[in-house]
Structures are given as C-alpha cells and as structure tokens.
C-alpha cells in the first residue's frame, strides 16, 4: 500500500511528467510535420522552387504585406529561422522572402505587418514580384496550416508591466528586494 511519503512522491512525479510534457509542443500538427520530412532548407527552396513543387515545407518569419485577391490571400513574409517548436526566432538573420497563398480570406488587420507567422504547405513554384524597383523571384507555398504569434513588442509589454525590482513576472526572490531603500530595516522601521 501507499504510505503518506510514497503518495507525495507519486504526485510529485505526476506533476513533473505534466510539466515536461507541456514543454514539447509544436505549432504544426504531427501529420503535416511527417509530410515535411525530409526537411528542405530555405536556401534550397529559394534557389530552385520549381524543382521542389509539391513538396511540403514548414517556413516562418515576419509578415511584410498581406494582399487580398479574388481567389484568396497572398502573404509576403521575410523568412526567419525556426526554433524546435516551429516558432520564428527573434533574430536579424534571414534567407530572403517568400509568399504564402491562402485560399480563404484573411483580414490584413489581423495578419498585419511585423506579426510573426509560421506556415506549413506545399511548394507551388515561383512568384515574380518586386522589392522596391528590383525584380524578385519569391518561392510560393500554399497555406495548409498557419499560426500567428504575438509581436516582439507585445511580448516585451508582458514584462514592462512589472516594476524593475520585481525581476520579471515569473521570478520572485524574497531576499532580492531591489531598489527598496529600507530593505534591511523592514517596512515598519521608524527613525525615532
């Protein structure tokens, strides 16, 4: 039978399993990730998208422009490297731009400039567009799955709501009181 100590250890183990399981989530579904194997790098896709037509890829980055058309929505994305959970990293490195074509209507106010997005879909080929006055061949993919992420400034605002002596919303150290001038004297210290 379980004693009080063993029952406590069992609940701690169940809690640990739950917490470690939550850290392994992906944005893209398992079936689409299986279709995208073996993965294609963005450099390969950019050099010859016509040769990879029909292959499933997972790309992400920062939205530059969203254009609604009669038959769907075209999203211009500045590619960023993806993390292990398929979220675009907050970095300045990029392999270039790509277009994502979604068959449904997507509101440009929601899919706005500077939002981060992850798109999984099949390579449709090349789209000829312009960046400024320069002709630019965009790799184009379909939208089987799209996932919007908060902007970097929205993520920074979560931390900006806390005073600097808190040290962030998830870290509380009772011995680190920061800039409180009477920290070692206590809150009820009087000078007389």
Task: Please state the domain count of the chain.
Answer: 1
Residue 162, in any domain of the structure: no
SS (H, E, C) the chain: CCCHHHHHHHHHHHHHHHHHHHCCCCCCCHHHHHHCCCCCCHHHHHHCCCCCCCCEEEEEEEEEEEEEECCEEEEEEEECCECCCCCECCCCCCCCEEEEEECCCCCCCCCCCCCEEEEEEEEEEEEEEEECCEEEEEEEEECCEEEEECCHHHHHHHHHCCCHHHCCCCCCCCCCCCCCCCCCCCCCCCCC
**pLDDT level of residue 159 (50, 70, 90 thresholds):** low
Residue 38, in any domain of the structure: yes
Residue 160, in any domain of the structure: no
pTM: 0.69
Residue 87, in any domain of the structure: yes
Domain with 79, as residue range(s), is: 30-150
Residue 134, in any domain of the structure: yes
Residue 37, in any domain of the structure: yes
Q: In CATH, what number is assigned to the domain containing residue 141?
A: 2.40.50.140
User: For 7-36, how does the pLDDT look when each residue is reduced to its tens digit (9 = 90+)?
Assistant: 777 777 777 666 665 555 788 888 888 888
Residue 86, in any domain of the structure: yes
Residue 68, in any domain of the structure: yes
User: For 83-140, how does the pLDDT look when each residue is reduced to its tens digit (9 = 90+)?
Assistant: 888 889 888 899 999 999 999 999 999 999 999 999 999 999 999 999 999 999 999 9
């Amino acid at each position: 039978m379980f004693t009080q100590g063993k029952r406590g250890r069992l609940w701690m183990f169940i809690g640990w399993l739950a917490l470690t399981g939550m850290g392994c989530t992906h944005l893209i579904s398992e079936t689409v990730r299986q279709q995208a194997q073996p993965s294609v790098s963005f450099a390969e896709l950019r050099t010859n998208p016509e040769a990879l037509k029909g292959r499933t890829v997972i790309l992400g980055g920062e939205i530059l422009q969203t254009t609604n058309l009669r038959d769907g929505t075209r999203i211009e994305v500045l590619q960023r490297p993806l993390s292990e959970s398929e979220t675009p990293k907050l970095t300045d490195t990029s392999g270039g731009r790509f277009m994502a074509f979604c068959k449904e209507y997507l509101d440009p106010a929601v899919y706005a400039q500077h939002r981060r997005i992850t798109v999984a879909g099949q390579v449709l080929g090349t789209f000829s567009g312009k960046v400024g006055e320069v002709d630019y061949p965009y790799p184009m993919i379909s939208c089987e799955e799209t996932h919007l992420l908060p902007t970097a400034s929205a993520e920074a605002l979560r931390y900006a709501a806390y005073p600097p002596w808190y040290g962030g919303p998830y870290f509380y150290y009772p011995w680190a009181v920061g800039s409180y001038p009477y920290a070692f004297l206590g809150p009820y210290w009087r000078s007389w």
